[in-house]
Amino acid sequence: MYRVRTILHLAYRNAFLRKSRAILLVMMIGLCMGVMVGLEGLYDGMSLHMIDKTMRSDCGNISLFAKKYRLEDDIKYHISEADKKVQQLKQLHDVVYALWRIQSSGLAQTARKSTPAKLIGINIDDEEHFGKFSEFLKEGELNFGKSGVFVGNELAKKLKLHIGSKVIFTTQDAHLEIQSIALRVKAILHTTNINLDTRALFIPRETLTTLLALPKNSATQIAVISKSKEIKTLQKSIQSLFPTLDVKRFVELYPQLKQMQELMSVFNQITFFIVMSVVFIGILGVMYVSILDRIREFGILLSIGYAYRNIRLQVLIEALLLGVAGYLLGTIIGLAFLGYLSYYGLNLSMFAEGLNSFGLDSTLYATMKLSYFISTFFAIIFASLLSVVLPLRQLKKLNPIEIIRSTS
Amino acid sequence: MITLRNVNKYFYRGEAREVHALRNINLTIKEGEFSVVSGPSGCGKTTLLNAIGVLDSISEGEIWLEDREIAQLSAAEKTQIRLNDMGFVFQAYNLVPVLNVEENIGFIMRLQGYTQEAIKERVLDVAQMLQIDNKLDAMPNLLSGGQQQRVAVARAVASKPKIILADEPTANLDSTNSMALMEMMKELNTKENVTILFSSHDDYVIQNARRVILLNDGELVS
């Protein structure tokens, strides 16, 4: 106990009495960690944000379709009595909310331009409960009124639509008759879901059902938001409830977003590896120089009966103390950085067009996870311990008498 | 107390530049002795002290500390011997630079596991005896050479070792400080009955020693 106390005392003194060395190292670890945690949060935030908005604006955690609908994109493969099915789904324990939509592909045209698009029938209240629909509003107001339509922002740009502009949507109804509807733009939406922003027009569900000559309460999609972490289990129970429908999870509907999340995770690992290598080299450099600088001191200690194992423990504790101090500073910087980025975001409006084309907002928000700090803690401890292996090997070869001879 | 039997020490043995530093040394140092190893430069004084202090290995022979042969012990065992049975005073003081005077003096006692109170009491006693009690909070780099050497002596004495080995302790001191240090060492020897073995070619030190061990070219002359 006394031995450990003495070693701790010496380690503490050596770690922090050489102030410039300690400050330099602690700041290096702290800044590296702070920036790394910030980047991790930003990368994760980007993908989580995209996933979240896609779920909220489109498919939720799970979506149900009539069999063949997704392959054929034909409204004859629709879900009937969607309202009852939604009610059944809402009864399930893990389901937070469910809604149905009707959708038809067709042609959107103005007097000068036309483009393929899809008309989606929605209920604004349902959408608000489902995915805070009002957050997607970019211009105008969320009120269909008479013949109102909401348009995705990229589609509006393509057709040069503004609030109050007129747009005609032409499609084929359930009897294969061509039907057109004249609509007036009431709102422009920005969901960051490329599928919707570039192609979608939203009108009331009932209006579209009538236009398509479908029975009341028909749907092409039922979407479910769930709080469960076991989405696969929920998918199975929904599938057993509706065996004639296609029940798909988010990752099955948007595999590219899942891939993007995994890609971000790889970026994070690479960043983590690079930053931790820098930290490791930093600690190694400082500890190595510091130990070589103190060879005489270690020689003295050995000669007066301080065992090599004590020196080894002392050097390890010194590296750990500096590492932990750097970690604490890094935690403060990281928390501040992440706090700022998750509240205010990183405004990249100058790259808005490019970011939007990838389905990203021009303001990127970070996410904060405890795992960043836990993994960094262990990495710094590991780097600190590893950094003294080489200097300790040098110390082990130390012959106190040679040191004393050389300094006498 | 310490007995050397047929001790030989070679440097670079078997090489063209071989040096026979200690030649067949047979020596006994009794408890409470105040001795000095003397001789011309390069005669082997420091080598002999280092061998006795198990800081350096010997090539042949035996070194006994009381009833234990210590020359053939492992490095860890030698460290324990140095910690518990020996006190060292070096020519270059060799204080721990990050510890203050009080901590330097009490350092070995701390490693030996003495309580804080016991260390404090003993450190104060020794510091008063060596007249450095007013410097207990000072860091070594703020002390003069004489003061640093007194701290080194205090560190060696504080843990009450069986023997204190002092290698040219006055080499870096002026005559006033050398005399003062010698007086203090004599006082320690008398009051605390500490066995002290110096190496020195300083006439003042030699005159004040109770026994002079004379070396010449690695051989014991007297």
Provide the pLDDT for residue A51: 87
Burial A175-212 (b: 16+ CB within 10 A, else e): eeeebebebbbbbbbbbbbbbbbbbbbbbbbebbbebb
What's the residue count for chain A?
Answer: 408
Please determine, for residue B183, whether its predicted confidence score (pLDDT) is greater than 90.
no
Q: How far is B123 from chain A (nearest CA, A)?
A: 16
Does the distance separating the beta carbons of B79 and A307 come in below 8 Å? yes
Of A1, A13, A305, the CB nearest to B82: A305
Provide the pLDDT for residue A227: 87
Report strand pairing: A200-204 vs A114-122.
Answer: parallel
Find, in chain A, the residue whose alpha carbon is nearest to that of B50. A401
ipTM of the complex model: 0.84
pTM over 0.90: no
Does the distance separating the beta carbons of B88 and A303 come in below 8 Å? yes
Residues of B in contact with A13 (CB under 8 A): 98-99
Residues of B in contact with A305 (CB under 8 A): 79-84, 86, 108, 111
Provide the pLDDT for residue A407: 56
Q: What is the enclosing helix (H) or strand (E) of A290?
A: helix A255-293
B113/A contact by beta carbon, under 8 A: yes
Determine whether domain B2-220 maps to CATH 3.40.50.300: yes
* Mean pLDDT, chain B, whole residue set: 87
> Cα–Cα distances in Å, from A354 out to A9, A145, A349, A360, A361?
56, 34, 10, 9, 10
Q: How far is A33 from chain B (nearest CA, A)?
A: 30
Provide the pLDDT for residue A405: 66
B155/A contact by beta carbon, under 8 A: yes
Cross-strand bridge partners of residue A203: A121
Provide the pLDDT for residue A260: 83
Per-residue tens of pLDDT for chain A, all 408 residues: 667 888 888 888 888 877 888 888 899 999 999 988 988 898 888 888 888 888 999 999 999 999 999 888 899 999 999 999 999 999 998 899 999 999 999 999 998 899 999 999 999 999 999 999 999 999 999 999 889 999 999 999 999 999 999 999 999 999 999 999 999 999 999 988 888 999 999 999 999 999 999 999 999 999 999 988 889 999 999 999 999 999 999 999 988 888 888 888 888 889 889 988 888 888 888 888 888 888 888 888 888 888 888 889 998 998 899 999 999 999 999 999 999 988 888 888 777 777 766 667 777 888 888 999 999 999 999 988 888 888 888 888 777 777 766 655
Of B76, B82, B107, the CB nearest to A303: B82
Does the distance separating the beta carbons of A5 and B110 come in below 8 Å? yes
The span from the CA of A221 to the CA of A65, in Å, is 5
B47/A contact by beta carbon, under 8 A: no
What is the three-class DSSP state of A346? strand
For residue B27, give the nearest of B199, B192, B144 by alpha carbon. Answer: B199
Does the distance separating the beta carbons of A17 and B88 come in below 8 Å? no
Q: How far is A309 from chain B (nearest CA, A)?
A: 9
Residues 6+ away with beta carbon under 8 Å from A39: A268, A271
Give the pLDDT confidence of B80-96 residue by residue, as tens digits: 889 889 998 887 778 88
Provide the pLDDT for residue A31: 92
As given in the structure block, the two tokens for residue A19 are 């102030």
Does the distance separating the beta carbons of B113 and A3 come in below 8 Å? yes
Residues of B in contact with A14 (CB under 8 A): 98
The span from the CA of A283 to the CA of A287, in Å, is 6
Provide the pLDDT for residue A2: 66
What is the three-class DSSP state of A102? strand
Of A6, A14, A305, the CB nearest to B79: A305
Does the distance separating the beta carbons of B80 and A304 come in below 8 Å? no
Q: Are A167 and A110 in contact (CB under 8 A)?
A: yes
Q: Which residue has the tokens 């939406």?
A: A189
Provide the pLDDT for residue B120: 93
Report strand pairing: B211-216 vs B219-220.
Answer: antiparallel
Chain-centre distance for alpha carbon A277: 25
Provide the pLDDT for residue A133: 93
> Cα–Cα distances in Å, from A16 out to A23, A321, A379, B113?
8, 9, 22, 25
Of B53, B98, B168, the CB nearest to A10: B98
Report strand pairing: A62-66 vs A166-172.
Answer: unpaired
Amino acid code (one letter) for B210: R
Provide the pLDDT for residue A359: 65
Strand segments, DSSP code E, in A74-156 are 95-109, 114-122, 137-140, 148-152
Does the distance separating the beta carbons of A304 and B108 come in below 8 Å? yes
Q: Which residues of A touch B (CB under 8 A)?
A: 1-3, 5-6, 9-10, 13-14, 17, 296-297, 300-310, 400-401, 404-405, 407-408
Of A10, A14, A304, the CB nearest to B82: A304
Residue B222: exposure state from Cβ atoms within 10 A (0-12, 13-18, ≥19): exposed
Q: Which residue has the tokens 């029940």?
A: A247
Residues 6+ away with beta carbon under 8 Å from B207: none
Provide the pLDDT for residue A408: 52
Domain residue limits, chain B: 2-220
Residues of B in contact with A309 (CB under 8 A): 76
Provide the pLDDT for residue A126: 94
Residues of B in contact with A310 (CB under 8 A): 111
Q: What percent of chain B has pLDDT over 70?
A: 100
What's the residue count for chain B?
Answer: 222
Give the pLDDT confidence of B114-151 residue by residue, as tens digits: 888 999 999 998 888 888 889 999 999 899 888 898 89
User: Which of B11, B96, B164 to probe by mutation at the A interface, max A CB count within 10 Å?
Assistant: B96
Please determine, for residue B175, whether its predicted confidence score (pLDDT) is greater than 90.
no
Please determine, for residue B193, whether its predicted confidence score (pLDDT) is greater than 80.
yes
Provide the pLDDT for residue A185: 96
Q: Are B25 and B3 in contact (CB under 8 A)?
A: no
Of B55, B80, B110, the CB nearest to A6: B110
For residue A61, give the nearest of A99, A104, A105, A118 by alpha carbon. Answer: A99
Does the distance separating the beta carbons of A10 and B111 come in below 8 Å? no
B95/A contact by beta carbon, under 8 A: yes
Q: How far is B55 from chain A (nearest CA, A)?
A: 6
Find, in chain A, the residue whose alpha carbon is nearest to that of B168. A408
Provide the pLDDT for residue A357: 67
Does the distance separating the beta carbons of B99 and A13 come in below 8 Å? yes
Domain residue limits, chain A: 2-54+257-407, 62-227
The span from the CA of A62 to the CA of A95, in Å, is 10
